[in-house]
Structure 1
Amino acid sequence: MPALPAQGVPRTRTASAVGILLVLGTALSGCAYEYDEDFSSGSSSASAPAFTDAALPRDPALNRPVSGAELDEWAAEVLPDADGEVFHSNYGVLEAGEEREETTAKLPEGTYALTLACRGPRRVSFNVSHGDLDLVDLNLRCGTSRVNVVYLPADAVLHIAVEARRGANFAYRVSLI
């Protein structure tokens, strides 16, 4: 059987490459970073700031539904003044398992912002529809607000349904952009 010729890198190149790698490895393994003596011993005149946790837990009272003047203040906060004309707005208190439904007056053609917000221990369901078309079908996590932008034809009438499994506050606004 004939001998096959050796393939690959010649031995002289392989030996040179291995030698270079050994020299580099030895040189790099001797590198070390040294700290300033004042810094490492803690005798520096400037003290490091105390560690604070950036993710503080939320105040449980923020999940509690409110009424009266507190409800008015909350609604003004989550539904700030709109740039456009406001056509429909409402806020209030929902008892556990309660559903509220409303219908807007006929709206002129245009682009609208539907602002939705809730306050409570769970989520609140919002459904905004025009005829058979659901424009917004959302289970909103309380403590947040949401703005949806929709285009409506002339004389559109919106049906707004809000439901909560547990007691909660709700707020919404329909405004022309």
Structure 2
Amino acid sequence: MGWVRALKVPTTRSAIPAVVLCSVLACGAMASCEYTYDDGRAPVSSPPSPVITDPVLTRDPALGQTVTGDALKAWAQDVLPDVNGLSFYGSFGLLSAGESRDEETTQLPGGTYAVTLACRGARSAEFTVRNGSEVLIEVMLRCGTTRVKVLQLETDAVLGITITGNAPANFAYRVSRI
């Protein structure tokens, strides 16, 4: 009998790593490609920005000095514009340093109101609006600015308003129905 000779087959390196490498490179190249076309539709718009309900008007440097008489009345009319008969109460005046003034509005029917507050002078004034003992608004307002606050009255009310000047200051406020 003859001898059977086993043939030795040469071993080759597996082709799997090379295929994986080529696949990864092809996927990376494909990911960097992008096809766009114009289908005639308008681009998607972003949602509108949020509404700010507490506007603050910028400071006028000329408002660092207090005024009296007709100049005070003109300033108050300027910072508290007419609201077509929807104003229920308003006031303006001059405070000395550290002075407080307490005032009351007329009877206001239940509803939603805008309270516009303004100060003129070198520093700031504090405004506090109460319904009985309940504080509805408490604001330290830098002079030269105007701020609008919105409040809801469930029932008829007379509001108490206290204004305190940290230095000599003009103040003005208006309560208007929204």
The one-letter amino acid paired with 1:156 is A
Please give the TM-score of this superposition, normalised by the length of structure 2: 0.64
> How far apart in 2 are the matches of 1:130 and 1:150?
11
Q: Distance in 2 between matches of 1:58 and 1:125?
A: 19
Percent of aligned positions that are identical: 50
Aligned 8 A contact 1:84 1:176 in 2: no
SS at match of 1:73: helix
* 1:173 equivalenced with 2:174 (yes/no): yes
Name the counterpart of 2:165: 164
Q: Shift of residue 120 of structure 1? A: 0.6
Task: Report runs of 4+ in structure 1 exceeding 3 Å deviation.
Answer: none
> How many aligned positions are there?
123
2:89 partner letter: H
1:47 match: none
Give the aligned partner of residue 87 of structure 1.
Answer: 88
2: CA distance between counterparts of 1:106 and 1:134? 17
Counterpart residue number, 1:73 = 74
What is residue 118 of structure 1 aligned with on the other side?
119
Aligned partners of 2:159, 2:92: CA distance in 1, in Å? Answer: 16
Q: 2:63 touches 2:143 (CA, 8 Å); kept in 1? A: no
Aligned partner of 1:109 in structure 2 is 110
> Which amino acid in 2 is paired with 1:95?
S
Q: Deviations over 1:125-169 (max 9, x none)?
A: 000011222111000011110111111123211000000021000
Is 1:139 the counterpart of 2:127? The answer is no
Which structure has more helix as a fraction of its residues? 1
Whole-Å separation in 1 of the counterparts to 2:159 and 2:60: 35
Kindly state the Cα deviation for residue 83 of structure 1 after the two structures are TM-superposed.
4.2
Counterparts of 1:140 and 1:155 in 2: how far apart (Å)?
A: 27
Q: What secondary structure is seen at the aligned counterpart in 2 of 1:129?
A: strand
Alignment of 1:9-20 (within 5 A): none
Q: CA deviation at 1:106?
A: 1.7
Question: C-alpha separation between the residues in 2 aligned to 1:87 and 1:111?
Answer: 12
Distance in 2 between residues matched to 1:82 and 1:134, nearest whole Å: 25
Change (3 A) 1:82 1:162: same
**1:149 maps to what in 2?**
150
Q: Distance in 1 between matches of 2:86 and 2:175?
A: 9
What is the rounded CA distance, in whole Å, between the counterparts of 2:148 and 2:159 in structure 1?
Answer: 16
8 A contact 2:60–2:145 mirrored in 1? no
State the SS of the aligned residue for 2:103: strand
1:87-133 per-position Cα deviation (integer Å, ceiling 9, x unaligned) = 11000100111100011222111110100000011010000011222
The structural deviation recorded for 1:84 is 5.3
Residues 58 and 101 (structure 1), Cα distance of their counterparts in 2 relative to 1, 3 Å cut: closer
